[in-house]
Amino acid sequence: MRIIGLAGWSGSGKTTLVTSVIPVLVQRGLKVATVKHAHHEFDIDQPGKDSWLHRQAGACEVAVVSSRRWALVHELGQEPEPPLGEILQKLSPADLVIVEGFKRHAHPKLEVYRASVGKPLLHPGDDCIVALATDAPLPQASVPVLMLDDIEGIANMLQAEALSLDQIGPPLETA
C-alpha cells in the first residue's frame, strides 16, 4: 500500500480533483482507497436510523452491514483524534491510498492551489509537498507545477511520488 496526499485550503478543489483522478487510476488497474480528514464534527448516520439510535444509546462502535457495503463508526468520546498512520493501518489492502487533508502530517502531498481562494501557498513551509496543481501558472513555485485540468499528468505524479506506509512519518511540528 502506497500513500499520497492532497493538501490545500478549503475551496481549492481537493475533492473535485480526487473524484476526477480516481477513475483514471482505477482504469490503470489500481485498487484505490481514500482517507478524508474532516475538520468539523460529522455524522454518517441519519437521526432516527437504527445505527444512529445505537450510538445515541451509548455504543462505542456500530457496524452497519449490507450485501453492498459496510461501515464502522467509532465514537471517540474524550479520546484524541487518531493519527493518520493508525487510520491507514485499519484500511483493507489497496495499491494506492489518497489522503485528502491531514496537511500537517509527514507524507508526500500534492498541493492544490487556487489564487482566488485568497490564501498563501503551503509548499514553501512544507517539504513533504512534492508538486503543485493549480489553475494558473506559478513561476515562483519551488516544486513542479501541474495544471488542474491535466488529470493524466496528476495521476502519473500521484503514482510516482506515493510512499509505502512504513516510509511516512508522524504529524509535522507546527510553529
We report the CATH number of the domain holding residue 9 as 3.40.50.300
Residue 138 lies inside a defined structural domain of this protein? yes
Residue 35 lies inside a defined structural domain of this protein? yes
Residue 45 lies inside a defined structural domain of this protein? no
Residues 6+ apart with CB under 8 A from 150: 133
Q: Which residues pair with 62 in a beta bridge?
A: 73
What's the rounded Cα separation, in Å, for the pair 155 and 133? 11
Residue 9 lies inside a defined structural domain of this protein? yes
Taking only the tens of pLDDT, the chain with its 175 residues reads 999 999 999 999 999 999 999 999 999 999 999 999 887 667 777 788 888 888 888 888 888 888 898 888 888 888 888 888 888 888 999 999 999 988 888 899 999 999 999 999 999 889 999 999 999 999 889 999 999 999 999 999 999 999 998 888 766 654 4
Residue 63 lies inside a defined structural domain of this protein? no
What range does the domain containing 12 cover? Answer: 2-40+80-167
Domains held by the chain: number: 1
Residue 98 lies inside a defined structural domain of this protein? yes
What's the rounded Cα separation, in Å, for the pair 152 and 45? 35
